[in-house]
Structure 1
Amino acid sequence: MERIICLLAGYLFGLIQTGYLYGKAHKIDIRNHGSGNSGTTNALRVMGAKAGAVVFLGDFLKSLLPCLVVRVLFKDKPEFIYLLMMYTGLGVILGHNYPFYLKFKGGKGIAATAGLIVATDLRMTLLCIVAFLSIVIITRYVSLGSLVVAVILFAWLALFATLGAYGLDQKLLPEFYLVTAMISGLAFWRHRANVGRLVRGTENKISLNFGKK
């Protein structure tokens, strides 16, 4: 029951579409411009640096906060808590990517994934920040940096959960691996068009001179 509650609660938080709401406040439907999704990168490209920062922060917090609440509410179940956080994060990402009231047309879930990462492990957070920024600065491919973060998320959590770092009951490890793989897999699924363009060398590069929209 706790799993279902965390997944559904996460989905409800994910429905807070920061990019869509920010765009509407500025009389624009972000989904009709640029790449057509309501996430941070498209907001940055279409509406500028300020919009990108606001959208990232909103999507980041809507994942970070419920995951931290789960840590508090279930602190008496340490063998179970990180699994429930994964369910919560998965729910947020699903709500962000597939909001029912916007005909399931949302973002790609990377800012929401970042919130889950920070709530889970600060060491993993630092590694992801360094990897993401290094890749984006060198290649200017936000999609590539995002996908590397997704790989780090799964590899890190699978490794350290196996080593007992998160205090998970051994019987819960296969389920933990599965939910974590789904989170990482969603990033690749939502970026499947980007992957194709990366392979072909036609992926859009982000400008590091964002302007002041």
Structure 2
Amino acid sequence: MERIICLVIGYLFGNIFQTGYWYGKFNHIDIREYGSGNAGTTNVMRTLGKKAGIITYLLDTFKAVFAALAVHFLFGRNSDIEMLLFLYSGFGVVLGHNFPVYLKFKGGKGIAATSGVALSLLLFPKHCWVFAVFGLITFASVTLISKYVSLGSLVFITLFLIEFLAFGAAGWLPLTGGAKLEAYGILICLTVLAYIRHRGNIGRLMHGTERKIGHKA
């Protein structure tokens, strides 16, 4: 039951707080009718400018952190699976961000929300800071070098999964047994979902037609 509640909490945070959509509304447009047609950071930046993109990214990232904090206050204090519950809420945030009910399930691609999941793991001791720090470094470096946001996003989520699996194998996660396997499953689902949401970008990358940083919508 805890897992379902955390998933629902996350979905509500991701569903309601559609930053790109509301930012567009404040500027008298539906952001989903421009550019790539989604409500994520990259499309907002290309359509409304760098400031709009940064605000959208930060708020979409922190809604996963806020969902994790809500889970912490509800269940985490006495739970030995707190990290797993954080991941369930984070997965819910990504689902809510990508498939918001009131926008007819047409939201973003979930990378900013997923980076918020990595950021929420900073609340754990030992080595868990690596997920957020290395994730930021990976995304920034790949994006700046290649000039492709989509490529930076896919490399980020792929390495997040690899790092998480490696940490689990090394015993560096505060999870054991079935709970650790569940956590692996959530990270795999997040990664697969990211690739599905970016399938158009992957095709354009392969054909050399993907838009680079600075291109307008």
Same fold (TM over 0.5): yes
CA-to-aligned-CA distance 1:80-134 (integer Å, 9 cap, x gap): 1111111110000000000011110000011111111011132121111111111
Q: Is 1:202 aligned with 2:209?
A: yes
Alignment of 1:13-52 (within 5 A): 13-15=13-15, 16-52=17-53
Number of aligned residues = 208
Determine the structure 2 residue equivalent to 1:10. Answer: 10
Q: Residue in 2 aligned with 1:172?
A: 179
CA distance in 1, matches of 2:52, 2:203: 27
**What is the 5 A alignment of 1:51-200?**
51-72=52-73, 73-78=75-80, 80-120=81-121, 121-200=128-207
Compute the TM-score of the two structures, normalised by the length of structure 2: 0.91
State percent identity of aligned pairs.
46
Distance, in Å, in 2 between the alignment partners of 1:92 and 1:171 is 23
Q: What is the alpha-carbon distance in structure 1 between the residues aligned to residue 78 and residue 48 of structure 2?
A: 44
Write the deviation string for residues 32-76 of structure 1: whole angstroms up to 9, x where unpaired. 001000010000000001110111111111111111333444132
Structure 1 residues without counterparts, runs of 5 or longer = none
Partner SS, residue 36 of structure 2 = coil
Q: Distance between the aligned counterparts of 1:171 and 1:138, measured in 2?
A: 39
Mapped contact 1:162–1:173 kept (Cα < 8 A): no
Distance 1:41 1:26 in 2: 17
Shift of 1:186: 1.1
Question: With structure 1 as the length reference, what TM-score do the two structures score?
Answer: 0.93
CA RMSD for the aligned pairs?
A: 1.4
Give the superposition deviation at 1:187: 0.9
Alignment gaps of 5+ in structure 2: 122-127
Amino acid at match of 1:5: I
Conserved in 2, the CA contact under 8 Å of 1:63 and 1:112? yes
Match of 1:38, as an amino acid?
A
The CA distance in 2 between the partners of 1:181 and 1:104, in whole Å, is 22
Q: Distance in 1 between matches of 2:153 and 2:185?
A: 20
